[in-house]
Amino acid sequence: MAGFTTIICKNKDIDSKHSFRKKNVYGHEKNHFTNFVKSEKFVIEHFTNNKFIDDKILTEDATYIIGIEGVILNLKNLKAETKQTNIFDVVKSLYESSGIDFVKRLKGSFSGFIYSKKDQKWQIFTDPIGSKRLFYFQNEDYFIFASELRDISFQLNSMGIQNSLNHQAAYLLLTYGYMIEDINLIDNVKRIQAGTILSYQNELISTNEYFHLRNIKQTKDSNDEIIEKMDQLFSNAIKMEFEKDKEYGYKHIATLSGGLDSRMTVLMAHKLGYKEQLNFTFSQSDYLDEKIAKRIASDQKHEFLFQSLDHGNYLKQIDKTTYYNDGLILYSGSAHVMRAIENMNFDAYGMIHTGLVGDAVIGSFLSKPFVVPPTVEMGAYSKKLLAKVTPFISNMLPKYASEELFKFYGRGFSGALNGNYYFDIFSQTVSPFLEIDFLTYCYSIPEDKKYKQKIYLDWIAKKHPEFAKYPWEKTGVSPLKSMNYKRYFDLGYYKRMSLKFFDKLSGKMKSGMNPFDYWMTENPGLKDTINSYFESHIELLDNNIDLKKDCIQLFNNGNSGEKFQVLTLLSAIKLHNIKL
């Protein structure tokens, strides 16, 4: 993935031949380029793809060094406001007039930093949801920050600094399937959290949280007012995203499935005039995701691509998948994305438009129609080893007033963004549901209105009923029938429920986009690969008897998803050369 690696020496000058990690390991980064800024005490590498190049920089003048990675959706407006013609001068102008608070003005998916040469102060920031990750490390000799954990692990290995395993993080991977807050698999390496600015000056680190959902006040708007505001904010988000493509002369490309979220992105964009789209889908052949998406795309006269995930052979790419997400998230949760896009040519296309986390933004993180305090098991993929993380998570829970808030900052911003790290190899990824104005307004909607996505369905019914003529993969019938008695008079509902029933009865899901247990049964080659990987890598845990024992038990007694959690940990330990 694109981003920065910065090494700052405290006690000596930087080596003029300082080396960085080898790039393009799997051949997917041939359209990337590298820039450097060097000083006596530090060196900065910027490695990025050739998309939206005017939105990202690594540039210096006599006063500042500024680095921005990602895409700034409102850059055109900011240029007009500041009367500047390039992003460096825009950021410099905003910084000199507003200080580091200028970050609040940026919209999009980004990370970056500003270094003041006069003050010798670094200010490093993420966007409000942390979609572009940044990690950092400090000891008595160095301060390092980087967009990839593997870049920091490479630097530490090169410097002779041992990468020690953070055991709490290992068990998070074996339970939740992702990291939480600033914790990482390598001890003493932390992640800069979503909506946070880290300052580094005089060898001291401080952090400032400039955005957090906990600060959003609940709206008192009526149902009709909520629907109108949601529709307007969503339309604005769609326009910002798709106009950015047009700004660079790119064609539009968007994911599409049988769910609600991707269709809202695709169909709303079409309704707003962005009719020339390539929609692509990946799932088990002939499953509802393929059938519904194909019908939607055909009706809109969009181009359509489908990638079959049959037999689950993509799950054999364990190390490759782990490489791109740093082994910090369950590899099976994104391996299908890599398989679907690695043979596509994105040269003519702009941002990859998705409906990511749309259901959660409008209610699916709620278990009741009122505020429910978070508990340790919420958001965990596996509960078999949950006792190992219970003290750690229990100490964290008081920071989160509700299950919804806890799930957003765990499963949402840390887990669900997994696929983006693969999309971002080839372009930039956006979801209108995560546009900050839409996200914050939806978070402000009372729980009883969002529960079971009621306001979501009311929005569709009132403003876009034509979007509901297609079945919803979740229920097999129109979204507008799904939550009332009308579903009982539709054969599609019984077909979908029968699939769920037999899945539950057999204990092996055969229906769905990714029927892991079914694939492991019907595809001996996949099962052999998974077992062989485990057997050849479990020795990596020889120096931690308890962790090894837990991994063996989870792998031998767990379902397919739990086996994949174990393999993710083993692959990550290998990737980062972590010592136990």
Among candidates 486, 527, 524, 334, which has minimal Cα distance to 420?
A: 334
Structure tokens at 422: 């693969």
Residue 443 φ/ψ, nearest 5 degrees: -65, -30
Q: In this predicted structure, what is the pLDDT of residue 404?
A: 97
**What value does the CA radius of gyration of the chain take, rounded to a whole number of Å?**
24
pLDDT digits (tens, 9 = 90+) for 511-545: 555 688 888 989 999 999 999 999 999 999 999 99
The pLDDT, as a whole number, for residue 562 is 96
Of 269-273, 485-489, 518-522, which has the strongest mean pLDDT? 269-273
Chain centroid to Cα 296, Å, comes to: 26
Q: For residues 571 and 158, what is the distance between their CA atoms, to the nearest angstrom? A: 20
Instruction: Tokens for 196, please give them.
Output: 């946070």
Which of 26-30, 44-48, 166-170 has the least mean pLDDT? 26-30
Quickly count: other Cβ atoms within 10 Å of residue 522's Cβ: 15
Q: Quick count: other Cβ atoms within 10 Å of Cβ 381?
A: 20
**Is the distance from CB of 578 to CB of 185 less than 8 angstroms?**
yes
* Nearby residues of 140 by Cβ (< 8 Å), 6 or more positions away: 10, 11
Provide the β-strand partners of residue 47.
Answer: 3, 34
Cα angle 50, 54, 60; round to 5: 105
Rounded mean pLDDT of the chain? 92
> 342: which DSSP letter?
T
> Which phi and psi angles does 577 have, rounded to 5°?
55, 50
Q: Which amino acid is at 226?
A: I
pLDDT at 287: 86
CB 351 within 8 A of CB 341: no
Amino acid at position 7, single letter: I
Percentage of the chain modeled with pLDDT above 70: 94
Q: Which range among 90-104, 305-319, 419-433, 489-503 shows the weakest confidence by mean pLDDT?
A: 489-503
Q: What does the DSSP assignment read for 282-320?
A: EESTTSHHHHHHHHHHHHTT-EEEEEE-GGGGGGG-HHH
E strand or H helix at 576:
helix 560-576
The burial class, CB within 10 Å (0-12 / 13-18 / 19+), for 500 is: middle
Are 460 and 482 in contact, with CB atoms under 8 Å apart? no
Distance (Å) of CA 420 to CA 153, 241, 335: 22, 16, 11
64-76 pLDDT tens trace: 999 999 999 999 9
- pTM equals 0.94
Q: Helices (DSSP H) in 102-222: which residue ranges? A: 149-158, 167-175
* pLDDT on residue 155: 95
Q: What is the pLDDT of residue 466?
A: 96
CA distance 236 to 437: 9
Residues 194-242 have pLDDT tens digits of 999 999 999 999 999 999 999 999 999 999 999 999 999 999 999 999 9
Cβ(170)–Cβ(185) below 8 Å: yes
What's the angle, vertex CA 84, arms to CA 79 and CA 87, rounded to 5?
Answer: 70
pLDDT digits (tens, 9 = 90+) for 279-331: 999 888 888 899 999 999 999 999 999 999 889 999 999 999 999 999 999 99
* Side-chain-side CA neighbours of residue 490 (13 Å): 21
First to last CA, the chain: 27
What pLDDT sits at residue 146? Answer: 97
Which pLDDT tens digit goes with each residue over 108-124?
Answer: 999 999 999 999 999 99
CA 45 vs. chain centroid, Å, equals 23
